[in-house]
Amino acid sequence: MTKEMILSLFDRRFQEMDAIQGLTAEQASWQPSKEGYSIWQIVNHLIFWNSRMLNQFQGKAQSETNVDNNATFEMPEETSDAVWQKTIEQIYSVFREMQETVSQLDDSRFDEPAGDERTPLKVVLGEDIVMHDSYHIGQILYIRKLQGITR
């Protein structure tokens, strides 16, 4: 997978995140079941993992090494429309910064191991991050549909 292909997938991911546009805090907070996650929780999960990867690429220290994945699907204490809008701004900011960081990487970096892993960076970016985010964006679209919200 080339840098251009990865950036193209990032562009597509960015476009698909439009699924959160126009939602109210109430709609974003709605859970399909007691065990199911809300759109807001999914977006917070995406923010957590994308920020973590971005920090790794930028050489910043990670705050936690062993993370309980379920804890990344958190809800804020306040669930107002203003707080929801800040969450939307944050996911777009993280996605933009990730895209800018990747676009500035030298092509040779894509075959090198990603961080402490043995997996090449191109696999982590193209398969792990993009596939992970696409899966969760699909969940967001499904939850919208369950609520009767069309695009």
Contacts of 143 (CB under 8 A, 6+ apart): 30, 32, 36, 38, 39, 42
Reported confidence tier of residue 112, pLDDT bands at 50, 70, 90: confident
| pLDDT score recorded for residue 113 | 81
Per-residue pLDDT for 128 more than 70? yes
**Mean pLDDT value of segment 121-134:** 89
Contacts 24+ apart (CB under 8 A), 26-31: 26/79, 27/144, 27/147, 27/149, 28/84, 28/87, 29/75, 29/79, 30/143, 30/147
| CATH architecture group of domain 3-24+37-59+72-146 | Up-down Bundle (1.20)
Reported confidence tier of residue 116, pLDDT bands at 50, 70, 90: low
Domain locations along the chain: 3-24+37-59+72-146
Average pLDDT along the chain: 91
**Mean pLDDT value of segment 115-144:** 89
Backbone angles phi, psi at 134, to 5 degrees: -65, -40
